Structures are given as structure tokens and as C-alpha cells.
Chain A
Amino acid sequence: MIQLENITKVYQTKVIETTALDNINIEVPEGEFLSIMGPSGCGKSTLLNIMGMIDEPTTGQVTVAGKLVGNYHSKATARFRNEQLGFIFQSFHLINELSVIDNVELPLIYRKVSGKQRRQMAEAALTQVGLSNRMKHFPSQLSGGQKQRVAIARAIVGQPRIILADEPTGNLDSAMGNEIMDILMRLNQEQGTTIVMVTHDETMARKTHRLVRLFDGQQVS
């Protein structure tokens, strides 16, 4: 589903040159639930960003869902990202001024789906994460776990084939974290969604199919 070949990412500031990723090669087959672990600053998030086509590698090739990614800034890439990928972030990144259901509908707005259909799809996604009774609430009225569930609903509302999760349980306590993990596992098992998850938590990582460790930008296992 995702192929990264000889990926290198170097950050240039005026004074320093930092290598975030050094010659990474990873292939994620369809339906796999992959975990990426490593200490802070080892490039995990960068790797996820590159997989998600929101960051451009300095050298190397990225192929997602069979398509070789060329221009990272084009409209076509944006559309492609909208259709194929779903994102989940550690700090949720919900829009506080929109209600829960409006937050979930957001990817569909960029897909130009009609109002009625959007609503139906969003309601379905919220039901899937168990939040159908909180549709009109606002993020400020939800707990951390509920917010992340809304984020997951947003990530799956367009039925993407790949979900990229950046430390999804990082801001949650263990009980909530387990709930989130369960939802992700269910998604992967029941719908065959490919999931790549960056995490600090070894116990969470053990539940997934495969674990890749990064250290200083290099793959170590």
C-alpha cells in the first residue's frame, strides 16, 4: 500500500543542517497495522508526514496506493490525500468553533460531497466510534478521549484505505488510551484499513502486526 524507497530528509537552516531521516526503506502492505517507535527527535513524525504526503523528502521516492507521488503541492495530490488517507494527531486538532458533526464532515467538504450525504456519512462515522449522542456538542464540552474519538470519526468518514496516527494516545490516560486502541484494532480487523501508528507506548505497539524502530533517523529493526 505504501512504499518508501531511499527516503532521506534533511532540514537546512541558515547555520545548521539536520538529518531527520537517513536512507529509510519501508514497505507497508495493504491491511497491515504498523507501529513506529523510537525516542524523541528520531524522526518518527517526519516519517509519518512523508507517508502522508504532507512533507517532501529531500531524496527518495514515495508510492502510495500504487501512485508515485510527484508534486507534493498540487491540487491532484491534495485530492488524492483526501480520498486515500485519514489522519489522527496527538493533540486532536479539532476546530473549536465547529460542532462535533461539522468537524467530522470536514474532509467531505473538500471532497465536494453534497450536504445531505455528508450528514449521513458523518453520522455513520460517529456511530462507529460510539459518539452519535454528542453530534451537536462542541469540542470544549468533551473529554480528551471523546475528542480523539471525534478525530477518528473524522479520519474514517471518507472511508480511506490508509490511516496515519501520530501518537494517538499520547494525551490520554490509560483507560481512554485502551479504548482508542480498541477502535483502531477493530478498524484494521473488520475493514482491512491499513494503519501506520507512531507511538511511545510499547504495550500498544505489541498489539499491532509489525514494529519498526527508528533511532537518529535510521531504521534499527
Chain B
Amino acid sequence: MIRHIFQLVWNKKRSNALLFLEIFFAFAILFLVLTWVTRNLRLFSTPLGFETENTWIVHLDFYDAEDTLAASATKVRLREELLALPQIEAASYGGDVSPFSGSIWSTNNDNNGFMIQTHLVFADEHYKDAARLKLVQGRWFDETDRDARYKPVVISKKLYDESFEGRNLQDSVYTIDGENKIVGVVDHYKYHGDFSPEYNVTFFYEPSSAIDMPNLHLLLAPGTPVAFEEEVNRIVADVTGKSDFTIEHLQKSRDQAARSVWVPMISMLSICGFLVLNVALGLFGVLWYNISKRRAEVGLRRTLGASRTEVSLQFVGEIMIVSLLALLLGAVFAVQLPLMGVLEGEIEAFDYYVAMGVGAAFIIGLVLLCTFYPSQEAGRLQPAIVLHEE
């Protein structure tokens, strides 16, 4: 029976060609869009690793200070005064590279006999509390690191797994940026945004008082009213004597960074959805006309002993074969992308394969849906009537 349907489809190649092309291109478009969506959803589901709610960053700038000692003292004093407030749970100074800012410092070397590739983030001993980082090994920075012989660093678990693979880090010195001692491993630090991949991160220690640690991270107690910001603004202005600082709401920055991916993604999906709907309607219409032309054939088959179901299934089968062949061709092209590692680093093979599977499943489901009703109607045609129609 299947061979018979194949025969029918093959002999009507030309009239099936358009449908074939439509399904092929619909799959192509679905595949491309779904790959992007899968990549985004996959990245979105990985944890950020640090707190963004109730977190502000006060962007200060001490680079112009003539009296650096006084500037350091001001910084320390500011932190203490703010920490004294009940609404502020933790405060920490960070470097110029802050989350969602788009800035990157990175380095790589293979001086240790293996490749290390990592981003650099500067943090003080309080950052773990201000950002609620989770340590899976060792410890965060503390006062003993101020005069350490080897500069201490804390690396992310991703870097650990990639380059250190189960080594015991106790009492070992590695070259990352100069000679460093790894004192701890942090779970996750995905600081570019919800939809960005997690890069390898190495935290370098700088004390709070350092001039090149200008950004003050504040962790607020939950439920702190909005009006509190004006008070913080006043305190900062009073203590530092500056007026050109801004207070960034980290959650807002995170949302904005995410929006630049959400908005195009939803637009693409909507357009995709309507395109596919278009194809579905077209399929429905074509099938309807197709069957109306073949009424006599239906009558004949019923006369020859086909049951209603067999007739319905035949029509569904014809369209399904065309669709499956088109999907097969589409898959042949689609599978090139993961095999050739296109856009490796941004898009993983997983994304491609999921997109292929979901796209194909969706199209098959759609085809079944659209062919169901017309083919049912075909099965119900009365042979006595259709055989004598002309």
C-alpha cells in the first residue's frame, strides 16, 4: 500500500513540486529561527550566579584625584557610612568592568603547560557578600590577601573544569596574569546578560580603597522604598563632594540587556508563526481542490473495495510523503551547520539538532492537521454519486 502511494506521488512529481518546495522552505525558515530561539532559551536557563535584585551600583570616578591617599580614605569612609544604614546589607567596590556594561578584559596564555583563556574581573574582599556569589571550592578574598606573596585569584567553575580538570588547587601557583594563587572557585558568573554564554572568569583582588575600583556595589534589604535612593545620593554627594556620579539599578540594566534579545526574538517568532500559518492555509486549500478534482477516483477506489479509512489515509499519505521528502532534503542541508561547526562558540550543536527536531515535528503536526478534514471528507464521498457525475 505504501509503495502504491509512493508510486502515485512519484508519478505526479510536477504537481507536487510546489508543495515540496513550500514545505522545504518553511522548514528552512523554522530551522533558522528555532536554532536562534533554542540557543537563547538554553543560555537563559543557565544561572547568572550573582544577585541583581535590590542591587545598585554607584558609578564614581577617582581617577582625577590629586591626593590619592585622601581619595582612598574617602572611599572607605563612604562604604562604612552606607553600611551603617539598616537598608544596606552589603557594600563592595568593583573595577571598571561591571555586569551588563558590555566591557570585557580578557587574557589567555599557555604558560602553565595548558591553555588558559579567561575574562578578568576586579573585586574586593566584600564582593562575595554584595553579589551573593556561591563558592564551590576554597574561599573568597580576605584581609590576608592584601600583602600576599602571590596575587590571589578566584576562578569560575567553568574555567576550573576546562583548564584544571580536577586538579587540587591547594598550595599551587599558576600563571594567569602574572603568578597567581587560586584560593577559591565560584559556581557561576554570567555577567554579560541572561542571553549571553558564560565566559571563563577570573576574579583578581584589589582592596576597597584602591583608586581603580570606582564602582560601589550596594546590596539593599528587600522592601526598601524607592525614595531611599535620594538619601543615598545625598550621602554620596556629601562624603565624596562629587556631583557627577550616577546610581545604576542592576535589575533594570539586566532587563534592558535582555530586552534587546527578547524583542527581536518574539518578532521573529511571530513572523515565523504567520508564515507557517500561511503555508498551512495554503495546504488546506490546495488539498481541498485536489480532492475535488479526484472525486471520481475516490468513487472508483471505494468500489474496488477500499474502506473510508483507507481512502482518507491514502490522501493523508500522499501529502505526508511529499512533506517527509521535503523535510529530509531540508534536514540534509540543516545538518551541515552543526557538522561544520558554523558559529561555534555562539551556537552549539544541541541548538541545531533541537531546532531540526522541533521544526520537523511541528511541520508534520501541521500537515496532519491540515489534511485531516479534507481527507475525511474524501472518504465520505459516495461512490454511486461521484462515479456518475459527468
1/0 contact string of B4-35 vs chain A (CB within 8 Å) = 10011001100000000000000000000000
CB-based contact B308/A73 at 8 Å: yes
A7 → B minimal CB distance (Å): 14
A55-B1 Cα distance, complex, nearest whole Å: 26
Give the residues from 197 to 234 in chain B that come closer than 8 angstroms, CB to CB, to chain A: none
* Per-position 1/0 for A99-115, Cβ under 8 A of B: 10010001101111001
Residues of B within 8 A of A107 (CB): 304-305
- Bound Cα distance from A78 to B302, whole angstroms: 7
Whether a CB of chain B sits under 8 angstroms from the CB of A81 is yes
Q: A87-B303, A98-B7, A115-B3 in contact; A93/B387 too (CB < 8 A)? A: yes
CA distance A24 to B284 in the complex (A): 44
Complex CA gap A104/B378 in Å reads 22
Tell me whether A89 and B387 are in contact (CB under 8 A): yes
List, in ascending order, chain B residues with CB within 8 A of A106's CB.
4, 301, 304
Q: Which of B309, B384, B390 has the most CB of A within 10 A?
A: B384
Determine if B304 and A75 form an interchain contact, defined as CB atoms under 8 angstroms apart.
Answer: no
- Our pick among A54, A95, A109, A154 for the contact of B384 (Cβ within 8 Å) is A54
Does A75 contact B301, Cβ atoms closer than 8 Å? no
A134 CA to B7 CA in the complex, in Å?
Answer: 18
Q: Is B73 an interface position by the 8 A CB rule?
A: no
Cα A46 to Cα B384 with chains together (Å): 8
**Do A52 and B303 touch across chains, with their CB atoms under 8 A apart?**
yes
Q: CB-CB < 8 A to B149: which residues of A?
A: none
Pairwise interchain contact B306-A91, C-beta atoms closer than 8 A: no
Query: Closest B-chain residue to A115, C-beta based?
Result: B3
| A82 CB–B CB distance under 8 Å | yes
Inside 8 A of B49's CB, which chain A residues have their CB? none
Residues of B within 8 A of A137 (CB): none
Interface residues of B in 291-332 (CB under 8 A from A): 296-297, 299-310
B338 an interface residue at 8 Å Cβ cutoff?
Answer: no
Please give me the residue from chain B that is nearest to A73 by CB atom.
Answer: B308
**Chain B residues, Cβ within 8 Å of A109:** 1, 4
Q: Which residue of A lies closest to B13 (CB)?
A: A97
CA A158 – CA B302 in complex, angstroms?
A: 15
Interface size on A, residues (CB 8 A): 30
Q: State how many angstroms separate the Cβ of B198 from the closest Cβ of chain A.
A: 57
Total residues of chain B contacting the partner, CB 8 A = 27
**Contacts A89-B387, A93-B387, A97-B12 known; A54 to B305 CB distance under 8 Å?**
no
Give Cα A182 to B125, complex, Å.
107
**Which residues of B sit under 8 angstroms from A81, Cβ to Cβ?**
303-305
CA distance A72 to B8 in the complex (A): 28
Contacting pair A93 B1 (CB below 8 A):
no
Cα-based distance from A102 to B308 in the complex (angstroms): 21
- Distance A154 CA – B300 CA, assembled complex (angstroms): 11
Do residues A54 and B8 form an inter-chain contact, with CB atoms below 8 A?
Answer: no
* A93-B300, A98-B11, A109-B4 given; A45·B388 CB < 8 A: yes
Q: Is A23 an interface residue (CB 8 A)?
A: no
In the complex formed, the residue of B with least CB distance to A50 is B384
Known: A75-B307, A78-B307, A98-B8. A49 touches B301 (CB 8 A): no
Please state if B7 and A79 are interface contacts (CB–CB under 8 Å): no
Pick from B3, B299, B388 the residue with the most CB of A within 10 Å: B388
Closest chain A residue, CB of each to CB of B380: A73
CB distance from A103 to the nearest CB of B (A): 10
Of A45, A89, A91, A95, which contacts B297 at CB under 8 A?
Answer: A95
- A107 to B1, alpha carbons, bound, how many Å? 11
Instruction: Report B177 CB to chain A, min CB distance, Å.
Output: 73
* Max chain A Cβ within 10 angstroms of own Cβ: one of B297, B303, B308, B387: B303
* Min distance, Cβ B308 to any Cβ of chain A, angstroms: 7
**Contact flag A78-B306 (CB < 8 Å), given A95-B297, A97-B11:** yes
In the complex the two chains form, is B12's CB within 8 Å of A110's CB?
no
Q: Which residues of A contact B299 (CB under 8 A)?
A: 93
Among A54, A91, A95, A115, point to the contact of B303 (Cβ < 8 A): A54
Q: How far is the CA of A89 from the CA of B382 in the complex (A)?
A: 16
Chain A hits for B8, CB < 8 A: 95, 97-98
Bound complex: CA A106 to CA B8 (Å) = 12
Q: Are B390 and A91 in contact (CB under 8 A)?
A: yes
Q: How distant is the Cα of A107 from the Cα of B360 in the complex, in angstroms?
A: 34
Q: Are B384 and A82 in contact (CB under 8 A)?
A: no
CA of A110 to CA of B8, assembled, Å? 15
A106 to B11, CA, bound (A): 15
User: A residues within 8 A CB of B309?
Assistant: 75
- A82 closest partner in B (C-beta): B305
Other-chain contact of A78, B11, B297, B305 (Cβ < 8 Å): B305
In the complex, 15 of the A-B residue pairs with CB atoms within 8 angstroms, ordered by the A residue number, are A46-B384, A49-B383, A55-B382, A78-B302, A81-B304, A81-B305, A82-B305, A87-B304, A95-B8, A98-B7, A106-B301, A107-B304, A109-B1, A110-B305, A110-B306
CB within 8 Å of B: which residues of A? 45-46, 49, 52, 54-55, 73, 75, 78-79, 81-83, 87, 89, 91, 93, 95, 97-99, 102, 106-107, 109-112, 115, 154
The 9 nearest A-B residue pairs measured at CB: A82-B305, A55-B384, A110-B305, A97-B11, A49-B384, A54-B383, A75-B307, A107-B304, A78-B307
Instruction: Known pairs A78-B307, A81-B303; list 14 more (Cβ under 8 Å).
Output: A46-B384, A54-B387, A75-B309, A78-B302, A79-B305, A81-B304, A87-B304, A93-B297, A98-B8, A106-B4, A109-B1, A109-B4, A110-B301, A110-B304
